[in-house]
Amino acid sequence: MSAQEVIRDLQELADPERAAHSAGYFKTGPGEYGEGDIFIGLTVPQGREIAQRHKSLPPAEALELLQSPIHEVRLCALHILVNRFKRSKSEIEKAELFALYLSSVQAGYVNNWDLIDTSAPTFGEFLLPDENRRELLLELAHSESLWERRLSIMFTFAFIRANEFEDALAMAEFHLSDTHDLIHKASGWMLREIGKRDVEVLRNFLRAHAEVMPRTELRYAIEKLDEDERQYWLSVRREAKS
């Protein structure tokens, strides 16, 4: 089983019309966040099915896929690595997979929001027992790379699922001054997930920060609250800005 076999299977499903749509959706134009990325036009379920077909692909071959210029090839590689991480019973193997994943993000191979979001919540589980995980999150949060900053937020989804909110709240607070909409969306998403589990924790964050939260982040965070409460928090921000 090899990287080239995976690429062959993906190429067989290429759809030029879908590829053109994806290139626009993922902002691949000059100056956009996905500038220069190449799409061949697969659906996510198609990529997942091929990843399952090649679930025993060695990590070294998956790394080769991650270095592909084709977006769907990189996404398929992440599905393979995520599935392998979930199946693994070996802490040594999990550590190796996490290291491969993190280095791939830092090398620029995992370089769009869907690539981060499909993988970070699973690999974040590796950090759950780590008492020093905040150090890594802050290192990523300070990065000039948009994708490393998004990773610093999306790793915390694993913690939220374990009902550990402190790191997610810290990252949301840290990123309040970030200027990129994709960071605002990720922070708001994580706050919404906290609110689904403990709405008072979300409300406490809103009491402290709603006045200065980016509008997109606030809207994401309050999406599951009732209409009256949503309007209240929007008015808090609106009045502070007036």
Residues 26-30 have a mean pLDDT of: 90
Say if pTM beats, i.e. exceeds, 0.85.
yes
Where does residue 30 fall: left (phi above 0), alpha (psi -120 to 50 degrees), or beta otherwise? Answer: beta
Which of 48-52, 207-211, 238-242 is the least confident region? 238-242
Which of 1-15, 107-121, 143-157 is the least confident region? 1-15
CATH 1.10.357.10 is the classification of domain 1-108: no
Domain-wise residue ranges, the chain: 1-108, 128-242
Cα of 32 vs its chain's centroid, Å? 18
**Is the Cα dihedral 61, 63, 64, 69 positive or negative?**
positive
Q: State the pLDDT at residue 239.
A: 84
| DSSP bridge pairs for 70 | 38
Question: What proportion of the chain, given as a percentage, has pLDDT over 70?
Answer: 99
210 to 167, 183, 214: CA distances (angstroms) = 19, 16, 9
- Give pLDDT tens digits for 199-234: 999 999 999 999 999 999 999 999 999 999 999 999
Within 10 angstroms of residue 120's Cβ, the number of other Cβ atoms is 26
Q: For residue 162, name the pLDDT band (cuts at 50, 70, 90).
A: very high
- pLDDT at position 1 over 80: no
When the pLDDT of each residue in the chain is averaged and rounded to a whole number, the result is: 95
- pLDDT at position 242 over 80: no
Structure tokens at 126: 């590796």
Q: For residue 238, name the pLDDT band (cuts at 50, 70, 90).
A: confident
Q: State the pLDDT at residue 232.
A: 95
**Which CATH number is 128-242 given?**
1.25.10.90
Q: State the pLDDT at residue 208.
A: 96
Q: State the pLDDT at residue 16.
A: 94
The closest of 141, 148, 208 to 168, measured between CA atoms, is 141
Q: At what angle do helices 91-106 and 71-87 cross, to 10 degrees?
A: 160
| DSSP bridge pairs for 38 | 70
Residues 120-149 have a mean pLDDT of: 96
Q: State the pLDDT at residue 241.
A: 75
Gap between the Cα atoms of 216 and 58, Å rounded: 40
Residues 67-78 have a mean pLDDT of: 97
